[in-house]
Structures are given as C-alpha cells and as structure tokens.
C-alpha cells in the first residue's frame, strides 16, 4: 500500500496495443513537472493481458474488477480515472459500475461507448472491425490501424515490419477479446447520465470521425459535466497524451482541480 500523501491520485489505463508504462511515461512526467508531489499517477496494464491468452470469460467487467483491485492495493477510496482506447471503454464501464469511487473521468478516445442507436456510418464501420476476425496477425493489425483514422491519413501510423517487442504477439487476441465484449456488453447509459463528476474527452482531429468523433458527440449528451478538447493534427495512433503530454497534463490538472472545487466545466 502506498501511503504517500497526494492531492490528486489517478489510475491511467492504456489502449489495447501499447503497455501502460511506455504509453503514459511522457504524460506522467508532464504531470509531475506541473503538479509535483501533489499527484500520484499509477499506470495500470489491462487485465486482458494478465496471462498468456485473454481469460475465456473476458468482458469489460474483468477490467472493472482489475481497477477496483488496483485502487484497494494503492489504499485509495476515491481517485481520478484516465482511459485511452480500450482503456477508455473500460473506464466508462467502471464509471457506470462504481461512480462513488471516482473524482473525475478522463476519456482519451475510448474505443467504444455502448450500443445506443448509432448512425449508419458508425454501424458500418463496426461491421468492418468485425470482418477483421480470422485475418493473420500482420494483416489484422494493419487493417485495424487503418480503420482508426480519417481516410488518407498516413503520418504517425505504425510502420510495419521490423523486430516486434515480445508483448506484441498478444495484441491481436486482446483486441479480438475487446471487440467480442463490445458486441455484447450492456453499458448502463442511465448510470452514466447520473455521473455528476467532471468528464474530459480528448479527440484527435485526424481520427476516424465515424468512430471517435461520434463517440465524443454521443457522450456529450450523456454526461452532465462534459468538456471536449480537439487536438489538430493528432489521431488515435499518434495520440495527444504521447505527442503533446504537456497540453494534456494541463487539461488533466484543470479537470482534477474542478472536481475538488466543484467548478463546472461547461
């Protein structure tokens, strides 16, 4: 248990590709540069990668239980939660299940936000995601990346080929596990509408608007305290928290301060 006093305690969940430590190293450094000892930020890996294969009964509730367990181990009754991509979807599920534990919620392009009557373009995009199942790992990852950005975007995308880190071999199965639970998971919209803590959403302007743009628009009508920040030139695989960590750290500091002083973000 960590007993270091801090004004802001935060758990940061990564996406389904990069592990938590490298995903958030720059952002955590920027947070410490801005807030010093006032912040204790814990980057937590996803439960889907806790073993050599995803759990057979894996769902977003697996991630919810993992976050609750991590908070208990840290000795935190309440905390700020930050989630990117698959971690963002997990953060939404956690907010619906355990709102009493959260002081704020920061969503960095969550990969999914429930099944709430999406547009035809959004539904068509998710059919394309589902069609990836069965592709060999190299083709799966290449197509998965292309679906996350606007048509014609090439800058900032992962470069295929070359030596892969050992953890990369687990990623196609983990992403498939996320896609499977997204198809069946019941995210409680009414519970999220009752969430009265401030919510921040970071959106890359070059991300696929039929995916992350529509998620942002939909959630803006769900959460009563919602702030959207758009980052020109950024996209889902060149995300603000890695490329512009100082700016994101400033936004998180403002979010967290608003949760303490009761300020409204609108």
The pLDDT score that the predictor gives to residue 207 is 98
Sheet holding 79-85, edge to edge: 39-43, 8-13, 79-85, 102-110, 199-204, 226-231
Classify domain 8-261 at the CATH topology level.
Rossmann fold (3.40.50)
Residue with the larger pLDDT of the pair 4 and 102 = 102
Look-up of token digits 């997990």: 90
Residues 144 and 171 sit within 8 Å (Cβ to Cβ):
no
What percentage of the chain has pLDDT greater than the value 90? Answer: 86
The better pLDDT of the pair 35, 6 is held by 35
Structure confidence by residue, pLDDT tens digits, 60-111: 999 999 999 999 999 999 999 999 999 999 999 999 999 999 999 999 999 9
CA 30/CA 32 separation, integer angstroms: 5
Exposure class string for 16-38: b at 16+ Cβ within 10 A, else e: bbbbbeebbebbbebbeeebeee
Q: Please return the burial class of 72, using the count of CB atoms within 10 Å of its CB with bins 0-12, 13-18 and 19+.
A: exposed
- 262 band by pLDDT with thresholds 50, 70 and 90: low
pLDDT tens-place string over residues 225-261: 999 999 999 999 999 999 999 999 999 999 999 998 7
Cβ-based neighbour number of residue 67 at 10 Å:
26
Residue spans of the domains in the chain: they are 8-261
Question: Average pLDDT of 143-147?
Answer: 94
Residue 162 has pLDDT above 80, yes or no: no
Torsion of CA 181, 16, 120, 233, to 10 degrees: 160
């Amino acid at each position: 248990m960590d007993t270091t006093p801090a004004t802001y305690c935060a758990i940061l969940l990564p996406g389904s590709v990069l592990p938590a430590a490298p995903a958030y190293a720059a952002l955590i450094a920027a947070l410490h540069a801005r807030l010093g000892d006032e912040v204790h930020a814990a980057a937590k890996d996803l439960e889907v990668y806790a073993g050599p294969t995803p759990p057979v009964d894996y769902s977003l509730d697996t991630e919810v239980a993992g976050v609750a367990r991590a908070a208990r181990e840290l000795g935190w009754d309440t905390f700020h939660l930050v989630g990117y991509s698959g971690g963002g979807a997990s953060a939404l599920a956690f907010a619906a299940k355990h709102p009493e534990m959260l002081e704020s919620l920061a969503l960095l392009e969550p990969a999914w936000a429930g099944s709430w009557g999406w547009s035809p373009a959004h539904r068509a995009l998710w059919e394309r995601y589902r069609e990836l199942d069965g592709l060999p790992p190299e083709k799966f990852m290449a197509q998965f990346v292309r679906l996350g950005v606007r048509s014609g975007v090439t800058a900032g995308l992962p470069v295929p080929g070359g030596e892969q880190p050992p953890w990369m071999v687990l990623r196609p199965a983990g992403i498939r596990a996320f896609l499977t639970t997204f198809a069946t998971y019941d995210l409680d919209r009414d519970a999220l509408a009752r969430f009265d803590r401030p919510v921040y959403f970071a959106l890359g302007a070059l991300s696929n608007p039929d995916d992350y743009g529509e998620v942002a628009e939909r959630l803006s009508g769900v959460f009563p305290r919602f702030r959207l920040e758009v980052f020109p030139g950024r996209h889902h695989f060149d995300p603000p928290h890695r490329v512009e960590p100082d700016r994101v750290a400033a936004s998180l500091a403002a979010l967290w301060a608003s949760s303490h002083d009761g300020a409204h973000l609108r």
